[in-house]
Every structure is written in structure tokens, then in C-alpha cells.
Structure 1
Amino acid sequence: MLAFSLTLPATRVAVRDLDPWFVAFGRAAGAAVLASAYLYPNRAPRPARSQWWRLSIVALGVIVGFPLFTSLALTTQTAAHGAVVVTVLPAMTAIFAVLRAGERPPPLFWVAGLSGLLLVLTFLIATGTVHGGLNPADLFLLAAVVLCALGYAEGGALSRELGGARTICWALLLALPVTLPVTVVAAASHPPHTGAAGWSAFAYLTTVSMFLGFFAWYAGLALGGIARVGQLQLAQPILTLLWSAWLLAEPVTPATIATAVLVLACVVAIQRARTRRVLTDSRP
């Protein structure tokens, strides 16, 4: 979650100069190279036929969908605004955990999760981060959240069988026939040119947001329960705002710290709620 909290600010920096399609698909193509370097020396066994379909869902959600739609949105919106919409990601992840992984969170889970969601939304509305109605960037962000939640839930469930590292690595390689050609076309149409900050942001998105971050994230979802562990993301908007203040010179008030403490209290309550998992096949 800490690694992912920097994703939106890094994307915002990267798309200032780089084409959003290049940022979205280039980071996935680059991460696929890292995935190859991880899988083949370790002689990782290939997934079973039924697992390839589930890996395609992971790829659609976290390798193609979320990077593309956030890159498109952040060409016109700020990272702080993006943090608003990402606030609904934990709730969407919990819903997909029920639908795809057979989990059954108890009432305390939903009460604490909803409380944390309302706290963050209240804070963001009160501080003026949210204003006006939906625009195309908001729709892109909403699409990104839905697809990301699907990819989180499916990947977390699949990680119980493959492990977190192998799940994201095989998904990256599965998506490579799509991500590599799009990257080449985007680079040819708009030759990438940016400064040190832009390339550093792109490198972070490639190595951390698209690769290393998922090693820990999927492993945690598999071990602790997708719905329960996914609620750690309630603290992510606050962290994203802090990163935005540091990297993008956006203001942070004392209310940010107070809200963060309250949200973390909700996260503690969620972690105390035991989630039951129904042992049913989550595959289509």
C-alpha cells in the first residue's frame, strides 16, 4: 500500500511530458522484462490452463486497465483529485472478494470500512479537493478503480495457488503481446522526451508500481484475506496527498494528520474483524 500510494503522483509527473499511452503500456512492457528475469532463472513452473484465464483477468485489471485510465485522467487532473476517486477502491475490492474469492466479511468489517470511507470523503470534500460534477477524467478514474479492484481480488485469490510474485510475473508476460506493440506505436507517434523527474517517475512506475509492489501486495491479500487486507488502502489517499505535497507542492493541513489517525483506527478495527471464506471455486 505504501508503494502504491506514490503511483498517482508519479503518474502525474510522468504524463506532463510523456504520452499517457506510452506511460501506461511502457511501464507494463518494462516490468515484463523484469518478470522474465525473475521467472526463468528460478525455473518457475508454467501455470495450469485454468489459471491462464484468471491471469488474463489480473492483466486486464492491474496491468492494462488501471495504468491506462489513470494515465489518461491525470493528463488533466491532479494527483490529489485522483486520490478522491481511489478512496472507493477498498470497497470495490471487498465486493470483488465476495464475488470472485468466496469471502464473507462480518458486519463489523463493513461498518468499519464504511466509516473509514466516509471519513476520507468528508475530509477531501471539506478541504475542497472535491468540487463540481463528474468530468471525463473522473469517469476514467472510476473505470480504473473498478478494473483495479477486479485485478486485486482475482490476483489475491490466484496468489493462494501461485504465490504473489509468480502471479504478477506471469500476468505481465501474458499481457506483453499487447503492451509491447502499443508501447512501440505510442513511442513512434510521440517520441518520448522528458527530464530527469519524468524518467524517474516512469522508472518508479515500472519497477515498483507495476512489479515489486505486487510481490508484497498479492502475498498479503492471499495470506490475510482479500477483503480485510484490501481495506489497508483506506489510508492510501492520505498518503497520496502527502506525496503530492512533497513532489507537486500541494498544501497539507493539520486536518490531514487528524484524518489519517482516524482512518488508521478504522483500519485497526477492520483487521480485528475475521473474514470467513466460502470454499467455492472462484473460476468462471
Structure 2
Amino acid sequence: MDSRKPLDALSVSLMLLLCLIWSMQQIALKATAADIAPMLQIALRSGVGALLVSVFMAIRGQHVSLADGNWRPGLVVGGLFALEYLLVSESLRYTSAAHLVVFLYTAPVFAALGLHWKLPSERLAALQWVGIALAFGGIAVAFLGGGHRVTAGEPSNVLLGDFLALMAGAAWGATTVVVRTTSLSSLPAAQTLLYQLLAAFVLLLTASFILGQTTFHPTPLALWALAFQSLIVSFASFLAWFWLLRHYQASRLGVLSFTTPLFGIVLGAWLLNEPINPSFMTGSLLILPGIVLVSSYGMLKQWAGALIARHQ
């Protein structure tokens, strides 16, 4: 029997705080891009996060063993995690933080499609296919609706940035599929996180030097952003998320997690003065409900069953 609890005031408050933090990571990357290259910042935060997770695991008596073979799928998810954030950092060179966070959070749609293909128990229901159609319809509207300009008469590469953000969402979705369909599904969450952070540190640091993304001016804002990314995002927020997953029902938490793109849109416009064109807003209003339908089908089905039973 599932011992996880329904949401209460503590879990809702903590989840909303996490969503605010996760949206702020994109804002911080964009706001400090001139002082510290996003790819380098993600690499450094991953290295610090990996060190802190290693200490956390040591305190709890957990360790990584090469003999069990879990390092093989660990390398795969680590590579996918690094690819996701490589695409994120490149995306931020061309598009806004608001666009990035919305397209990045299409990950559950890609994960659902992959799990539908890999696991018989994860076959998509009709309502979930409706959600996928809504999400991809919203993507089409956001991409094809025009408005991809920074200022009047000045062409930009926003479309390229949006595409890279969407591919980052696909990489995140693929990571979920690998975790769910390999031995990683039975490992402590901290160990899987360690694989991801270590791979991101090594691969993104290497990519930073190869691609010339090594700008680092240690301004106060850049240092504060790096500390926020390392201590709060890569370490504290993920541990809090795993604690919530252990104690509360995941489907309920998943619904709240989709406030992250909403926070991202609002904070991007407020803190970075990012313009929000009508086609992107219309697309977002299709994408976000579509993602909720795909990810929260079980909960919606349960609610519908309870509602029908109440009126019989």
C-alpha cells in the first residue's frame, strides 16, 4: 500500500518555493551571461553540487560501487543531463529565459512518448494523446506565429534558441525514460543525481573550453548567481524535491511543478524586461494544459471517478 500522503500546507508551500527556485535558475543564467558564460556557470555549479551530494551520501553511509554495473546506465543519464544543459546554455544565447523555461518543461511529453514505447504499463490513454496534441499544437503556434525579433527591424535567432530549448526538453525526457527503464530506478535518488552532476561538470567544462564559452568576470552579481546555482539549485532544491517524492504523492506534486514555466514568464518580463509576443503566449496557453493532461492523467482519472461515485 502506498504510504505517501496527499498534499498539505507544508508540501504545497515547499513545492511552490522549489518552482520559484527552478524558474530563477534560468533568470540567473540569463542575467549574468555577460559576466560568466552560462555553459561555464552550469559546469561549475554541477561540480560544486556533485561534491556536496558526495558528502551527503557519505554522511548517510551510501556509496557508489562499480561492481554492480549501475555505472553504465549512470553514464547514459549523465551524458543526457550534460546534453540537456549544453542545449540550455546555448539556447540562452539566442532566446529569452521565459521561452527557455516553457520549452524545457515539455520534457514530460517526450518522456511519456518514450515510456509508451518502452513499457507496456505506461501506454498512453486517449486523454493523454489529447494532451500531447495540445502541447505540440502550442509548440507549432509559438514557433510559427512570428514575432521573432529583438527590436523593430532587427532580426534575431530567437527561433534557433527556442528550438535548442525544445531539444533540451527532449533530452530531459530521454533521461526520465532511461532512469525508469534501467537499474537506476531502484537506486537511491542521490546516486542518480551524482551521476548526472559529475557528467555535467566534466563534459560541460570541456565543452566550455572547446567552444570558447569561458567568460568569467567575478563581479558580485556573478558570484552570487554561482553560489545560488551551486548551493540552492544543484544541491538543496534537488534534495528537497526527493524528500517530497518520498513523503507525498508524486502526481499531485507534478501538477504543482508546472507553475515553474508560469513563474519563468512573469519573472523574465519583470526582472529582465523580456518581451512576450502574442504567438508565444498563445502557444504557452496550449502547451501547459497539454503537459498537465499528459503528466496528471492518473490523478485526473481518480478525481473523475470520485466525482461520478459521489453523484450516483
Please give the TM-score of this superposition, normalised by the length of structure 1. 0.71
Write the mapping of 1:7-46 to structure 2, written as runs, cut at 5 A: 7-46=25-64
Contiguous gaps of at least 5 residues in structure 1: 276-284
The residue that corresponds to 2:3 in the other structure is none
Residues 1:67 and 2:85 are matched in the alignment: yes
Between the aligned partners of 1:189 and 1:120, the Cα distance in structure 2 is 29
1:55-107 Cα distance to aligned partner (Å, 9 max, x none): 11221122x11222211221333212324532532321222333456522322
Displacement of 1:10 in angstroms is 1.9
CA contact (8 A) 1:25 1:182 kept: no
The residue that corresponds to 2:197 in the other structure is 172
Work out which of the residue numbers 97, 100, 105 in structure 2 matches 1:79.
97
The residue that corresponds to 2:13 in the other structure is none
The one-letter amino acid of 1:93's match is A
Write the mapping of 1:1-284 to structure 2, written as runs, cut at 5 A: 1-47=19-65, 49-62=68-81, 64-86=82-104, 88-99=106-117, 103-115=122-134, 118=137, 122=141, 128=147, 136-155=160-179, 160-173=185-198, 178=203, 190=214, 192-215=216-239, 217=241, 235-250=259-274, 269-270=293-294, 273-274=297-298
The one-letter amino acid of 1:240's match is G
Work out the percentage of aligned pairs sharing the same amino acid.
22
CA contact (8 A) 1:94 1:228 kept: no
Displacement of 1:249 in angstroms is 2.5
Please give the TM-score of this superposition, normalised by the length of structure 2. 0.65
Between the aligned partners of 1:151 and 1:134, the Cα distance in structure 2 is 26
Deviation larger for 145-154 or 82-91: 82-91
Contiguous gaps of at least 5 residues in structure 2: 1-18, 151-155, 300-312
Displacement of 1:16 in angstroms is 2.2
1:184-224 Cα distance to aligned partner (Å, 9 max, x none): x69x9946214333222222322343333334556778999
Which of the pair has more CA radius of gyration?
A: 2
CA contact (8 A) 1:84 1:237 kept: yes
Structure 1 residues 135 and 126, CA gap change in structure 2 (3 angstroms) = closer
Between the aligned partners of 2:38 and 2:263, the Cα distance in structure 1 is 23
- Tell me, what secondary structure is at the counterpart of 2:59? coil
CA contact (8 A) 1:28 1:172 kept: yes
Between the aligned partners of 2:146 and 2:215, the Cα distance in structure 1 is 39
Displacement of 1:18 in angstroms is 0.9
- Tell me, what secondary structure is at the counterpart of 1:40? helix
Displacement of 1:260 in angstroms is 8.2
Between the aligned partners of 2:162 and 2:278, the Cα distance in structure 1 is 27
Displacement of 1:250 in angstroms is 3.0
Between the aligned partners of 1:59 and 1:171, the Cα distance in structure 2 is 4
Q: How many residues align?
A: 272
Between the aligned partners of 2:248 and 2:129, the Cα distance in structure 1 is 16
Between the aligned partners of 1:56 and 1:209, the Cα distance in structure 2 is 22
Structure 1 residues 174 and 84, CA gap change in structure 2 (3 angstroms) = closer
